Chains A and B, each alone.
Chain A
Amino acid sequence: MLHEHTLTALRDMLRRREISSTELTQHCLDRIAKHSDLNAFVTLDESGAMAAAAVADKQLASGEADLLTGVPIAHKDIFCTRGVLTTCGSKMLENFVSPYDATVVERFHQAGSVTIGKTNMDEFAMGSSNETSFFGSVKNPWDPDRVPGGSSGGSAAAVAACLVAGATGTDTGGSIRQPAAFCGLTGLKPSYGRVSRYGMIAFASSLDQGGPITRNAEDAALMLQCMAGFDPRDSTSINAPAPDMATLLGAQVRGLKLGLPKEFFDTSVDAEVLEKVRESLAVLERLGATLVDVSLPNSPAGIPCYYVIAPAEASSNLSRFDGVRFGHRSEHAEELVDLYENSRAEGFGEEVKRRILIGTYALSAGYYDAYYLKAQKIRRVIAQDFETAFEQCDVIVGPTSPTTAFPLGAKTQNPVAMYLNDIFTNTVNLAGLPGLSVPCGFDTAGLPVGLQLIGKFMDEASLLSTAHQLQQETDWHQRMPAEY
């Protein structure tokens, strides 16, 4: 079936003109409509997509194909798209049409891809289950009673259900890797600064990073090649050219030292998850990698540290949503203070408000040192732990998430329980390192398990190459949910 092909395969089929972009785009749109029960998309841009597909077909016909000409992809609804709704999963931006394109969106346009629509997400990317979206929760294609993970849950569900071969996501504390793990996909959070944040609605600016969610490492490399690279509009963008696919996939697993932090293999992790992770590490060992024990002693402080820094930055980032220049404005706004307080109370959901309040508290007079400053110090300690561990290994490995996908509603009443999902992922954001989740098996309930690979700063190549070679030996990534 057409939709079962990978992004790279579709790209090549288009180039060989075995299929047309129009045909492929229409096929994707039909499948999205057919599987609308997943709620993976917030907005579809049917006419825009079909028009772009027609242009792509002309280019393909004249042999002017670019990196992704004619390939349909979807963007997480956190990326601003000119002329198309950008909601960030919030009532606050229910009617917001951005007048400009995010750099990432622009790069995919330039590479010739067809943007098919905007995927559902946790409101303002705050969540690990996609249940905080104003537009409703997303279902996991492997089990519609379970969450797809979050916050890039719509992108993950869309790719897992083969509605589209690749989608963008963003990852502030695990929001690409955890849904990739829950949906049996490959998800990459690049090094901080690798992918431009311009036009990506900020949650926590020092942690946010955009990246791909795809079916395999090869596709992730292709998408990263398109997304990455210096952007003068982002002062934290790293001045390094986007690496090409061959480089990203060409590193050797033989001789690679994989570090197993003892803190990632403890009893708090689901036994089946640990078992699958260890099995996949055994495969890598057979491919010539060596396993070494390392330690990240301060990682228990990661969650508390993250839940100070991320909300603190968010409390400030989300101040611009005040009902004055764009976004929701309350009907009850006689006085200025009502305009602010009511617009924000009505426009933001519970979890977003909770995080804004915690972040405001952590920065407020008398609490700054005990919370925000303390968290910034822990952040350095955590980053130093990684540096020390990388003296003994090339890539750090472990589970992406302590469990497989949990049932819808299981954790919505307990924010802290929800936060603990990020336990293995958010330290990577604190340190600004690249992290990747790759499928490594299924539990007895038939749910995918993710192996996380963490690399040195700017060393996405080791992660993608290791995942790619693992995928030459295993077929976890090729399995598809039966219903879709």
Chain B
Amino acid sequence: MSISEKDVLRVAHLARIRVSSDELEDYQEGLSGILSLVEQMHDCDTDGVEPMAHPQDIQLRLREDQVTEPDQRDAMQKSAPQVDEGLYLVPRVIE
């Protein structure tokens, strides 16, 4: 199974990872190799099998509705690349 250049670029954009034109072939080769490995899944018969999302059969534990977290803005923003007036800054977003 091989993956097309177009698919590599589609997936790279979905994942927001820049793939330059000179990297494209390497990715295409690498991903195709992995897909060939992954394709071996189809030898395994799973008719009528329920998908398994969690390794344990447990139900969600719920917490009481209480405010337990005080303001920690300074601590949270210590490693932030760019903040101003307590806001995280990003290049202008156009709606």
Contact = CB atoms under 8 A, between A and B. Distances in A.
Q: Judge A-B direct contact (beta carbons within 8 Å).
A: yes
Interface of A: 95-97, 99, 192-193, 206-207, 232, 235-236, 238-239, 298, 300-301, 303-305, 307-308, 315, 319, 322-327, 329, 333-342, 344-345, 348, 353-354, 356-358, 360-362, 364, 371, 373-381, 383, 414-416, 419, 429-432, 457
B86 interface: no
When A and B form their complex, which 4 residue pairs have the shortest distance between CB atoms, in order from nearest?
A432-B55, A376-B51, A377-B46, A329-B81
Interface string B1-31: 0010001101111111111100000010011
A416 B34 contact: yes
A53 B37 CA distance: 49
Given A192-B55, A341-B17, 8 more contacts: A307-B37, A326-B79, A338-B91, A340-B16, A345-B19, A357-B12, A357-B17, A419-B37
Contacts, number: 172
Given A99-B72, A304-B41, A327 B91 contact: no
A326 to B, nearest CB: 4
Given A206-B53, A345-B19, A357-B15, A375 B75 contact: no
Contacts of B38: 304, 307-308, 358, 362, 371
Contact of B40 (A193, A301, A373, A377): A301
A99 B78 contact: yes
B41 to A, nearest CB: 4
B14 A364 contact: yes
Contacts of B67: none
Contacts of A322: 16
A432 B17 CA distance: 31
Interface residues of B, number: 56
Given A308-B38, A341-B16, A336 B91 contact: yes
A377 B51 CA distance: 4
A301 B61 CA distance: 32
Nearest to A85: B79
Interface of chain A, helix or strand or loop or mixed?
helix
B18 to A, nearest CB: 4
Contacts of A339: 90-91
Contact of B46 (A304, A319, A381, A432): A381
A94 to B, nearest CB: 11
A416 B56 contact: no
A304 B36 CA distance: 9
Contact of B8 (A335, A337, A357): A357
A419 B34 CA distance: 9
B34 A238 contact: no
B25 to A, nearest CB: 13
Interface string B62-81: 01000000001001111111
A416 B37 contact: yes
21 contacts: A97-B78, A97-B79, A207-B55, A232-B63, A235-B61, A304-B38, A323-B81, A325-B88, A326-B79, A344-B17, A356-B17, A357-B11, A358-B34, A374-B41, A375-B41, A376-B52, A380-B49, A380-B50, A381-B49, A415-B33, A419-B37
Given A301-B44, A344-B16, A380-B52, A326 B34 contact: no
